[in-house]
Structure 1
Amino acid sequence: MVVATEAIVLHTLKYAEADVIAHCYTLSDGRKSYMLRRILKSKKGALKISLFQPLTQLEIIANHKNKGTLESIREAKVLYPYKTLHTDVVKGSVVLFLSEVLKDAIQEEEANSALYHYISSAFIFLDALEDFANFHIYFLLNLTQYLGFYPEVTDEKHLYFNLLEGTFQEKSSNGYCEKGSHVEALRQFFGIKIDAIPQIKLNKTTRLEVLHLLIRYYQIHLHGFRKPKSLPILNQLFQ
Protein backbone atom coordinates (compact mmCIF):
# COMPACT_ATOMS: atom_id res chain seq x y z
CA MET A 1 0.00 0.00 0.00
CA VAL A 2 1.33 3.42 -0.95
CA VAL A 3 1.09 5.89 1.94
CA ALA A 4 1.72 9.62 2.06
CA THR A 5 2.49 10.68 5.62
CA GLU A 6 4.52 12.89 7.89
CA ALA A 7 7.42 11.14 9.62
CA ILE A 8 10.02 11.95 12.28
CA VAL A 9 13.41 10.26 11.98
CA LEU A 10 14.33 8.42 15.18
CA HIS A 11 17.50 6.58 14.27
CA THR A 12 19.53 5.32 11.32
CA LEU A 13 21.77 2.29 11.05
CA LYS A 14 24.24 1.54 8.28
CA TYR A 15 23.53 -1.79 6.62
CA ALA A 16 26.01 -3.49 4.31
CA GLU A 17 28.20 -1.18 2.22
CA ALA A 18 25.80 1.48 0.98
CA ASP A 19 22.40 0.79 2.55
CA VAL A 20 20.81 2.39 5.61
CA ILE A 21 17.93 1.29 7.80
CA ALA A 22 15.93 4.29 8.99
CA HIS A 23 13.62 3.98 11.99
CA CYS A 24 10.90 6.62 11.81
CA TYR A 25 7.80 7.58 13.74
CA THR A 26 5.01 8.18 11.24
CA LEU A 27 1.75 10.02 11.67
CA SER A 28 -0.15 7.38 9.70
CA ASP A 29 1.19 4.13 11.16
CA GLY A 30 3.33 4.76 14.23
CA ARG A 31 6.84 3.36 14.19
CA LYS A 32 8.14 2.10 10.87
CA SER A 33 11.54 0.88 9.69
CA TYR A 34 12.67 1.53 6.13
CA MET A 35 15.45 0.06 4.02
CA LEU A 36 17.14 2.83 2.06
CA ARG A 37 18.97 1.05 -0.74
CA ARG A 38 22.28 2.49 -2.03
CA ILE A 39 21.60 5.81 -0.30
CA LEU A 40 25.23 6.18 0.83
CA LYS A 41 26.54 6.00 -2.73
CA SER A 42 23.70 7.39 -4.79
CA LYS A 43 24.37 10.90 -6.13
CA LYS A 44 21.31 11.23 -8.35
CA GLY A 45 18.76 9.26 -6.36
CA ALA A 46 15.54 10.75 -4.99
CA LEU A 47 16.66 10.14 -1.40
CA LYS A 48 19.67 11.79 0.25
CA ILE A 49 21.20 10.67 3.54
CA SER A 50 21.10 14.29 4.77
CA LEU A 51 17.31 13.95 4.99
CA PHE A 52 17.64 11.33 7.72
CA GLN A 53 19.40 13.19 10.52
CA PRO A 54 17.92 12.48 13.98
CA LEU A 55 14.49 14.05 14.57
CA THR A 56 14.22 15.53 11.08
CA GLN A 57 10.56 16.05 10.22
CA LEU A 58 9.70 14.74 6.76
CA GLU A 59 6.92 14.30 4.31
CA ILE A 60 7.30 10.87 2.73
CA ILE A 61 5.63 8.65 0.18
CA ALA A 62 6.27 5.08 1.23
CA ASN A 63 5.34 1.51 0.47
CA HIS A 64 3.83 -0.11 3.57
CA LYS A 65 3.33 -3.87 3.38
CA ASN A 66 2.50 -3.99 7.10
CA LYS A 67 3.93 -7.48 7.51
CA GLY A 68 6.52 -6.67 10.17
CA THR A 69 9.30 -6.41 7.60
CA LEU A 70 11.35 -3.46 6.41
CA GLU A 71 9.36 -0.99 4.32
CA SER A 72 10.58 1.30 1.54
CA ILE A 73 10.39 5.03 0.83
CA ARG A 74 9.72 6.35 -2.67
CA GLU A 75 10.04 10.06 -1.98
CA ALA A 76 10.98 12.27 0.96
CA LYS A 77 11.28 15.97 1.60
CA VAL A 78 11.83 18.10 4.69
CA LEU A 79 8.56 19.21 6.24
CA TYR A 80 10.06 21.62 8.76
CA PRO A 81 13.58 22.96 8.12
CA TYR A 82 15.26 23.36 11.48
CA LYS A 83 17.37 26.47 11.92
CA THR A 84 19.49 25.38 14.92
CA LEU A 85 18.92 21.74 15.93
CA HIS A 86 21.49 20.31 13.54
CA THR A 87 23.94 23.22 13.59
CA ASP A 88 24.17 24.18 17.28
CA VAL A 89 26.56 21.71 18.93
CA VAL A 90 24.82 21.73 22.31
CA LYS A 91 21.34 21.41 20.85
CA GLY A 92 22.65 18.66 18.64
CA SER A 93 23.69 16.71 21.74
CA VAL A 94 20.19 17.13 23.20
CA VAL A 95 18.70 15.95 19.90
CA LEU A 96 20.95 12.88 19.85
CA PHE A 97 20.04 12.01 23.42
CA LEU A 98 16.28 12.42 22.96
CA SER A 99 16.29 10.53 19.65
CA GLU A 100 17.87 7.61 21.53
CA VAL A 101 15.15 7.82 24.18
CA LEU A 102 12.40 7.86 21.56
CA LYS A 103 13.98 4.98 19.63
CA ASP A 104 13.72 2.75 22.69
CA ALA A 105 10.50 4.16 24.15
CA ILE A 106 8.30 3.97 21.03
CA GLN A 107 7.76 0.51 19.58
CA GLU A 108 4.10 0.41 18.52
CA GLU A 109 3.27 0.18 14.83
CA GLU A 110 -0.02 1.98 15.17
CA ALA A 111 -1.07 5.58 14.72
CA ASN A 112 -1.05 7.88 17.74
CA SER A 113 -1.62 11.38 16.46
CA ALA A 114 -1.46 12.97 19.93
CA LEU A 115 2.00 11.52 20.57
CA TYR A 116 3.17 12.41 17.08
CA HIS A 117 2.09 16.03 17.39
CA TYR A 118 3.60 16.32 20.87
CA ILE A 119 7.00 15.26 19.55
CA SER A 120 6.72 17.39 16.41
CA SER A 121 5.66 20.60 18.19
CA ALA A 122 8.19 20.12 21.01
CA PHE A 123 11.17 20.04 18.65
CA ILE A 124 9.90 22.94 16.60
CA PHE A 125 9.77 24.84 19.89
CA LEU A 126 13.28 23.70 20.86
CA ASP A 127 14.58 24.87 17.48
CA ALA A 128 13.64 28.46 18.41
CA LEU A 129 14.45 28.25 22.13
CA GLU A 130 17.52 30.08 23.42
CA ASP A 131 17.53 28.98 27.08
CA PHE A 132 17.03 25.23 26.66
CA ALA A 133 19.01 23.79 29.59
CA ASN A 134 15.85 22.24 31.08
CA PHE A 135 14.12 21.25 27.85
CA HIS A 136 15.04 17.56 28.02
CA ILE A 137 13.65 17.30 31.57
CA TYR A 138 10.34 18.83 30.49
CA PHE A 139 10.20 16.68 27.37
CA LEU A 140 10.88 13.39 29.17
CA LEU A 141 8.38 14.07 31.94
CA ASN A 142 5.57 15.06 29.61
CA LEU A 143 6.33 12.24 27.17
CA THR A 144 5.21 9.83 29.89
CA GLN A 145 1.66 11.14 29.49
CA TYR A 146 1.56 9.62 26.02
CA LEU A 147 3.42 6.45 27.02
CA GLY A 148 1.02 5.69 29.86
CA PHE A 149 2.99 6.23 33.07
CA TYR A 150 2.74 9.93 33.93
CA PRO A 151 3.12 10.35 37.72
CA GLU A 152 0.05 10.83 39.88
CA VAL A 153 0.34 14.38 41.19
CA THR A 154 -2.59 14.48 43.63
CA ASP A 155 -0.16 14.30 46.55
CA GLU A 156 2.85 15.86 44.85
CA LYS A 157 3.77 17.87 47.96
CA HIS A 158 4.63 14.71 49.87
CA LEU A 159 8.30 14.11 50.61
CA TYR A 160 8.93 10.85 48.71
CA PHE A 161 8.52 9.99 45.05
CA ASN A 162 7.74 6.30 44.54
CA LEU A 163 9.15 5.46 41.11
CA LEU A 164 7.50 2.05 41.00
CA GLU A 165 4.01 3.38 41.66
CA GLY A 166 4.50 6.80 40.10
CA THR A 167 3.11 8.50 43.20
CA PHE A 168 4.20 10.92 45.90
CA GLN A 169 3.88 9.76 49.50
CA GLU A 170 4.70 10.78 53.06
CA LYS A 171 6.86 7.78 53.94
CA SER A 172 9.19 5.43 52.09
CA SER A 173 7.48 2.10 51.44
CA ASN A 174 9.99 0.29 49.21
CA GLY A 175 13.41 0.56 47.58
CA TYR A 176 11.99 2.66 44.75
CA CYS A 177 11.20 5.69 46.92
CA GLU A 178 13.42 8.75 46.61
CA LYS A 179 13.54 12.13 48.28
CA GLY A 180 15.85 15.11 48.11
CA SER A 181 16.59 18.21 46.09
CA HIS A 182 16.14 16.37 42.78
CA VAL A 183 12.60 15.35 43.74
CA GLU A 184 11.88 18.92 44.81
CA ALA A 185 13.22 20.15 41.47
CA LEU A 186 11.09 17.65 39.54
CA ARG A 187 7.95 19.08 41.14
CA GLN A 188 8.57 22.39 39.37
CA PHE A 189 7.92 20.76 35.99
CA PHE A 190 4.43 19.50 36.75
CA GLY A 191 1.62 21.42 35.10
CA ILE A 192 3.74 24.08 33.41
CA LYS A 193 3.47 25.09 29.76
CA ILE A 194 6.41 24.56 27.45
CA ASP A 195 7.20 28.27 27.20
CA ALA A 196 7.76 28.39 30.99
CA ILE A 197 10.81 26.09 30.81
CA PRO A 198 13.38 28.95 31.01
CA GLN A 199 11.78 30.19 34.25
CA ILE A 200 12.99 27.09 36.13
CA LYS A 201 16.50 27.62 37.45
CA LEU A 202 18.54 24.56 38.38
CA ASN A 203 22.23 24.08 38.98
CA LYS A 204 24.07 21.45 36.98
CA THR A 205 24.19 18.88 39.79
CA THR A 206 20.47 19.02 40.50
CA ARG A 207 19.61 18.94 36.80
CA LEU A 208 21.69 15.79 36.33
CA GLU A 209 20.07 14.16 39.35
CA VAL A 210 16.60 14.93 37.97
CA LEU A 211 17.62 13.51 34.60
CA HIS A 212 18.94 10.29 36.12
CA LEU A 213 15.77 10.02 38.20
CA LEU A 214 13.68 10.18 35.04
CA ILE A 215 15.90 7.67 33.23
CA ARG A 216 15.43 5.24 36.11
CA TYR A 217 11.68 5.91 36.00
CA TYR A 218 11.65 5.00 32.30
CA GLN A 219 13.66 1.84 32.94
CA ILE A 220 11.14 0.72 35.55
CA HIS A 221 8.08 1.34 33.41
CA LEU A 222 9.27 0.48 29.89
CA HIS A 223 10.36 -3.09 29.29
CA GLY A 224 13.75 -3.21 27.60
CA PHE A 225 14.43 0.52 27.92
CA ARG A 226 18.17 1.08 28.02
CA LYS A 227 20.19 3.97 29.39
CA PRO A 228 21.04 6.10 26.31
CA LYS A 229 24.64 5.82 25.14
CA SER A 230 24.76 9.59 24.67
CA LEU A 231 23.94 10.25 28.35
CA PRO A 232 27.60 10.86 29.35
CA ILE A 233 27.81 13.61 26.70
CA LEU A 234 24.69 15.26 28.05
CA ASN A 235 26.12 15.02 31.58
CA GLN A 236 28.93 17.37 30.53
CA LEU A 237 26.65 20.10 29.21
CA PHE A 238 24.82 23.01 30.84
CA GLN A 239 27.42 24.20 33.31
Structure 2
Amino acid sequence: MIQSTKGIVLKTVKYGDTSIIVTIYTELFGVQSYLVNGVRTSTKKGPGKANLFQPAAILDLVVYHNDLKNLQRLKEYRWSYIYQHLFFNVIKNSVALYMIELLQKTLKQPEANSDLFHFIEDTFMHLDSAEDYVTANFGLFFALHLTTFLGFRFSDDYSEEHPYLDLQEGEFVHEHPIHPYFLQGQYSYITSQLLRVMQPHELKEIRLNQETRRTLMQAYQTFYALHVADFGTMKTLPVLQEVLG
Protein backbone atom coordinates (compact mmCIF):
# COMPACT_ATOMS: atom_id res chain seq x y z
CA MET A 1 0.00 0.00 0.00
CA ILE A 2 1.46 3.36 -1.06
CA GLN A 3 0.82 6.24 1.36
CA SER A 4 1.97 9.83 1.74
CA THR A 5 2.99 10.97 5.22
CA LYS A 6 5.26 13.36 7.04
CA GLY A 7 8.08 11.99 9.14
CA ILE A 8 10.74 13.09 11.64
CA VAL A 9 14.04 11.24 11.50
CA LEU A 10 15.07 9.60 14.79
CA LYS A 11 18.04 7.42 13.83
CA THR A 12 20.10 6.40 10.81
CA VAL A 13 22.52 3.47 10.54
CA LYS A 14 24.66 2.38 7.60
CA TYR A 15 23.61 -0.71 5.67
CA GLY A 16 25.99 -2.14 3.11
CA ASP A 17 28.14 0.16 1.00
CA THR A 18 25.56 2.69 -0.16
CA SER A 19 22.36 2.12 1.80
CA ILE A 20 20.93 3.05 5.20
CA ILE A 21 18.25 1.89 7.58
CA VAL A 22 16.46 4.92 8.98
CA THR A 23 14.04 5.05 11.91
CA ILE A 24 11.37 7.69 11.41
CA TYR A 25 8.47 8.86 13.55
CA THR A 26 5.70 9.20 10.97
CA GLU A 27 2.44 11.05 11.22
CA LEU A 28 0.36 8.14 9.90
CA PHE A 29 2.13 5.05 11.21
CA GLY A 30 4.11 6.05 14.30
CA VAL A 31 7.67 4.73 14.57
CA GLN A 32 8.77 2.88 11.43
CA SER A 33 12.07 1.61 10.02
CA TYR A 34 12.87 2.06 6.32
CA LEU A 35 15.54 0.59 4.08
CA VAL A 36 16.81 3.30 1.75
CA ASN A 37 19.08 2.11 -1.05
CA GLY A 38 21.78 4.02 -2.90
CA VAL A 39 21.86 7.20 -0.80
CA ARG A 40 25.45 6.94 0.44
CA THR A 41 28.52 7.38 -1.73
CA SER A 42 32.21 6.80 -1.15
CA THR A 43 33.21 9.10 -3.99
CA LYS A 44 34.31 12.73 -3.76
CA LYS A 45 30.96 13.91 -5.08
CA GLY A 46 29.70 14.51 -1.54
CA PRO A 47 27.45 12.73 0.94
CA GLY A 48 24.69 12.00 -1.56
CA LYS A 49 21.07 11.99 -0.44
CA ALA A 50 21.94 10.57 2.99
CA ASN A 51 22.13 14.12 4.38
CA LEU A 52 18.33 14.27 4.14
CA PHE A 53 18.17 11.67 6.90
CA GLN A 54 19.95 13.54 9.67
CA PRO A 55 18.30 13.17 13.11
CA ALA A 56 15.50 15.75 13.54
CA ALA A 57 15.02 16.20 9.77
CA ILE A 58 11.36 16.78 8.88
CA LEU A 59 10.49 15.03 5.63
CA ASP A 60 7.62 14.56 3.20
CA LEU A 61 7.48 10.86 2.38
CA VAL A 62 5.77 8.50 -0.01
CA VAL A 63 6.10 5.04 1.51
CA TYR A 64 5.33 1.43 0.73
CA HIS A 65 3.59 0.36 3.94
CA ASN A 66 2.82 -3.16 5.03
CA ASP A 67 1.54 -3.72 8.58
CA LEU A 68 3.04 -7.22 8.59
CA LYS A 69 6.60 -6.04 7.90
CA ASN A 70 9.12 -4.60 10.38
CA LEU A 71 11.21 -3.01 7.64
CA GLN A 72 9.44 -0.77 5.15
CA ARG A 73 10.60 1.00 1.98
CA LEU A 74 10.48 4.57 0.74
CA LYS A 75 9.25 5.49 -2.72
CA GLU A 76 9.89 9.24 -2.51
CA TYR A 77 11.34 11.64 0.07
CA ARG A 78 12.17 15.33 0.29
CA TRP A 79 12.56 18.09 2.86
CA SER A 80 9.26 19.19 4.34
CA TYR A 81 10.93 21.96 6.34
CA ILE A 82 14.46 23.26 5.74
CA TYR A 83 16.22 24.27 8.95
CA GLN A 84 18.11 27.54 8.85
CA HIS A 85 20.17 27.02 12.03
CA LEU A 86 19.47 23.71 13.78
CA PHE A 87 22.01 21.56 11.90
CA PHE A 88 24.78 24.17 12.03
CA ASN A 89 24.42 25.90 15.41
CA VAL A 90 26.26 23.85 18.05
CA ILE A 91 23.88 24.71 20.90
CA LYS A 92 20.68 24.18 18.91
CA ASN A 93 21.98 20.94 17.47
CA SER A 94 22.89 19.69 20.96
CA VAL A 95 19.37 20.50 22.18
CA ALA A 96 17.89 18.76 19.13
CA LEU A 97 19.95 15.61 19.72
CA TYR A 98 18.84 15.58 23.37
CA MET A 99 15.22 15.80 22.20
CA ILE A 100 15.80 13.03 19.66
CA GLU A 101 17.29 10.70 22.28
CA LEU A 102 14.31 11.37 24.53
CA LEU A 103 12.02 10.37 21.66
CA GLN A 104 14.08 7.25 20.91
CA LYS A 105 13.71 6.13 24.51
CA THR A 106 9.97 6.80 24.79
CA LEU A 107 8.46 6.14 21.35
CA LYS A 108 8.67 2.38 20.97
CA GLN A 109 5.41 1.33 19.31
CA PRO A 110 4.20 1.78 15.70
CA GLU A 111 1.14 3.70 16.80
CA ALA A 112 0.01 6.92 15.15
CA ASN A 113 -0.65 9.99 17.29
CA SER A 114 -1.18 13.06 15.13
CA ASP A 115 -1.28 15.45 18.12
CA LEU A 116 2.08 14.17 19.34
CA PHE A 117 3.56 14.35 15.85
CA HIS A 118 2.48 17.96 15.40
CA PHE A 119 3.82 18.88 18.86
CA ILE A 120 7.25 17.41 18.00
CA GLU A 121 7.29 19.00 14.54
CA ASP A 122 6.26 22.40 15.89
CA THR A 123 8.83 22.27 18.69
CA PHE A 124 11.73 21.52 16.34
CA MET A 125 10.70 24.38 14.05
CA HIS A 126 10.50 26.76 17.02
CA LEU A 127 13.93 25.61 18.18
CA ASP A 128 15.36 26.41 14.76
CA SER A 129 14.34 30.07 15.02
CA ALA A 130 14.62 30.54 18.80
CA GLU A 131 16.71 33.24 20.43
CA ASP A 132 19.67 32.13 22.55
CA TYR A 133 18.07 32.59 25.99
CA VAL A 134 15.03 30.63 24.77
CA THR A 135 17.20 27.86 23.30
CA ALA A 136 18.93 27.32 26.67
CA ASN A 137 15.60 26.27 28.27
CA PHE A 138 14.27 24.31 25.32
CA GLY A 139 15.30 20.90 26.61
CA LEU A 140 13.47 21.49 29.89
CA PHE A 141 10.33 22.62 28.08
CA PHE A 142 10.35 19.63 25.75
CA ALA A 143 11.02 17.07 28.47
CA LEU A 144 8.12 18.34 30.58
CA HIS A 145 5.54 18.79 27.83
CA LEU A 146 6.33 15.55 26.00
CA THR A 147 4.98 13.69 29.03
CA THR A 148 1.52 15.08 28.28
CA PHE A 149 1.35 12.66 25.34
CA LEU A 150 2.98 9.76 27.19
CA GLY A 151 0.46 9.55 30.01
CA PHE A 152 2.46 10.62 33.05
CA ARG A 153 2.47 14.41 33.01
CA PHE A 154 3.02 16.35 36.24
CA SER A 155 -0.18 17.69 37.72
CA ASP A 156 0.30 21.46 37.84
CA ASP A 157 -1.04 22.29 41.31
CA TYR A 158 1.99 23.93 42.89
CA SER A 159 1.21 26.24 45.83
CA GLU A 160 2.65 27.30 49.17
CA GLU A 161 0.64 24.44 50.67
CA HIS A 162 2.03 21.97 48.09
CA PRO A 163 5.69 22.98 47.68
CA TYR A 164 7.29 19.57 47.11
CA LEU A 165 7.36 17.99 43.65
CA ASP A 166 7.15 14.23 44.04
CA LEU A 167 8.91 12.75 41.01
CA GLN A 168 7.64 9.29 41.80
CA GLU A 169 3.96 10.29 41.97
CA GLY A 170 4.18 13.09 39.42
CA GLU A 171 2.47 15.69 41.57
CA PHE A 172 3.07 18.55 43.99
CA VAL A 173 2.51 17.48 47.59
CA HIS A 174 2.37 19.22 50.95
CA GLU A 175 4.68 16.88 52.86
CA HIS A 176 8.33 15.97 52.40
CA PRO A 177 8.27 12.59 50.51
CA ILE A 178 9.82 9.66 52.34
CA HIS A 179 11.82 8.65 49.22
CA PRO A 180 14.67 10.68 47.62
CA TYR A 181 12.95 11.43 44.31
CA PHE A 182 11.59 14.94 44.74
CA LEU A 183 12.24 18.63 44.14
CA GLN A 184 11.66 21.50 46.53
CA GLY A 185 12.25 25.23 46.85
CA GLN A 186 13.13 27.09 43.66
CA TYR A 187 13.38 23.86 41.64
CA SER A 188 9.80 22.94 42.42
CA TYR A 189 8.58 26.47 41.70
CA ILE A 190 10.46 26.78 38.40
CA THR A 191 9.06 23.46 37.24
CA SER A 192 5.56 24.79 37.89
CA GLN A 193 6.40 27.85 35.77
CA LEU A 194 7.76 25.70 32.94
CA LEU A 195 4.59 23.59 33.00
CA ARG A 196 2.56 26.74 32.35
CA VAL A 197 4.54 27.69 29.23
CA MET A 198 2.28 27.02 26.26
CA GLN A 199 4.52 28.30 23.45
CA PRO A 200 8.34 28.05 23.37
CA HIS A 201 8.87 31.80 22.93
CA GLU A 202 7.43 32.28 26.43
CA LEU A 203 10.61 30.65 27.79
CA LYS A 204 12.30 34.06 27.52
CA GLU A 205 10.48 35.00 30.72
CA ILE A 206 12.25 32.24 32.66
CA ARG A 207 15.94 33.04 33.20
CA LEU A 208 17.96 30.22 34.74
CA ASN A 209 21.60 29.90 35.72
CA GLN A 210 23.78 26.90 34.89
CA GLU A 211 23.42 25.17 38.25
CA THR A 212 19.62 25.45 38.31
CA ARG A 213 19.24 24.19 34.74
CA ARG A 214 21.62 21.28 35.42
CA THR A 215 19.70 20.24 38.56
CA LEU A 216 16.37 20.36 36.75
CA MET A 217 17.59 18.35 33.76
CA GLN A 218 18.95 15.64 36.07
CA ALA A 219 15.65 15.57 37.96
CA TYR A 220 13.60 15.27 34.78
CA GLN A 221 15.81 12.39 33.64
CA THR A 222 15.02 10.69 36.96
CA PHE A 223 11.32 11.36 36.41
CA TYR A 224 11.43 9.59 33.04
CA ALA A 225 13.44 6.70 34.45
CA LEU A 226 10.79 6.21 37.14
CA HIS A 227 7.99 6.02 34.59
CA VAL A 228 9.47 4.51 31.41
CA ALA A 229 10.70 0.91 31.51
CA ASP A 230 14.39 0.46 30.64
CA PHE A 231 14.86 4.21 30.22
CA GLY A 232 18.36 4.22 31.73
CA THR A 233 20.44 7.39 31.41
CA MET A 234 20.75 9.81 28.52
CA LYS A 235 24.04 9.96 26.64
CA THR A 236 23.25 13.41 25.25
CA LEU A 237 22.58 15.01 28.64
CA PRO A 238 26.22 15.53 29.74
CA VAL A 239 27.02 16.89 26.27
CA LEU A 240 24.13 19.34 26.39
CA GLN A 241 25.05 20.49 29.88
CA GLU A 242 28.64 21.09 28.78
CA VAL A 243 27.55 23.03 25.68
CA LEU A 244 25.14 25.20 27.67
CA GLY A 245 27.98 25.95 30.12
Q: What band does the TM-score fall into relative to the shorter chain?
A: over 0.9
Paired position in structure 1 for 2:154:
151
Secondary structure of the residue that 1:75 maps to in structure 2? Answer: strand
Q: Which amino acid aligns with 1:3?
A: Q
Paired position in structure 2 for 1:190:
195
| 1:140 alignment partner, one of 126, 140, 143 | 143
Give the C-alpha shift of residue 59 in structure 1.
0.3
Task: Supply the distance in 2 between the matched residues of 1:74 and 1:161 (Cα, whole angstroms).
Answer: 48
Task: Supply the distance in 1 between the matched residues of 2:32 and 2:119 (Cα, whole angstroms).
Answer: 18
What are the Cα deviations for residues 145-178 of structure 1, in whole angstroms up to 9, with x where unaligned?
0111111123454221111110111112331333
Paired position in structure 2 for 1:94:
95
Q: Which amino acid aligns with 1:70?
A: L
Task: Supply the distance in 2 between the matched residues of 1:177 and 1:143 (Cα, whole angstroms).
Answer: 19
Give the C-alpha shift of residue 196 in structure 1.
0.7
Task: Supply the distance in 1 between the matched residues of 2:118 and 2:178 (Cα, whole angstroms).
Answer: 36
Do the aligned partners of residues 103 and 83 (structure 1) sit closer, same or farther apart at CA in structure 2, a change above 3 Å counting?
same
Give the C-alpha shift of residue 13 in structure 1.
1.7
Give me the TM-score of the superposition, normalised by structure 2: 0.90
Q: Which amino acid aligns with 2:171?
A: T
Number of equivalent positions: 237
Structure 1: runs of 5 or more not aligned: none
Do the aligned partners of residues 184 and 68 (structure 1) sit closer, same or farther apart at CA in structure 2, a change above 3 Å counting?
farther
Give the C-alpha shift of residue 97 in structure 1.
1.3
Aligned partners of 1:185 and 1:202 also within 8 Å = no
The answer to whether the aligner puts 1:106 opposite 2:110 as a matched pair is no
Paired position in structure 1 for 2:56:
55
Aligned partners of 2:57 and 2:79 also within 8 Å = yes
Secondary structure of the residue that 1:107 maps to in structure 2? Answer: coil
Q: Which amino acid aligns with 1:128?
A: S
The answer to whether the aligner puts 1:166 opposite 2:170 as a matched pair is yes
Task: Supply the distance in 2 between the matched residues of 1:16 and 1:42 (Cα, whole angstroms).
Answer: 12
Paired position in structure 2 for 1:217:
223
The answer to whether the aligner puts 1:37 opposite 2:41 as a matched pair is no
Q: Which amino acid aligns with 2:174?
A: E
The answer to whether the aligner puts 1:205 opposite 2:211 as a matched pair is yes
Point out the more displaced range, 219-228 or 140-149.
Answer: 219-228
Give the C-alpha shift of residue 221 in structure 1.
0.9
Paired position in structure 2 for 1:117:
118
Give the C-alpha shift of residue 35 in structure 1.
1.5
Point out the more displaced range, 13-22 or 60-69.
Answer: 13-22
Identity %: 33
Do the aligned partners of residues 128 and 62 (structure 1) sit closer, same or farther apart at CA in structure 2, a change above 3 Å counting?
same
Give me the TM-score of the superposition, normalised by structure 1: 0.92
Secondary structure of the residue that 2:194 maps to in structure 1? Answer: coil
What are the Cα deviations for residues 83-133 of structure 1, in whole angstroms up to 9, with x where unaligned?
000011111111111111111111121210100000111111111111211
Give the C-alpha shift of residue 42 in structure 1.
8.3
The structure that is helix-richer by fraction is 2
Task: Supply the distance in 2 between the matched residues of 1:224 and 1:104 (Cα, whole angstroms).
Answer: 8
Aligned partners of 2:11 and 2:24 also within 8 Å = yes
Task: Supply the distance in 2 between the matched residues of 1:68 and 1:144 (Cα, whole angstroms).
Answer: 29
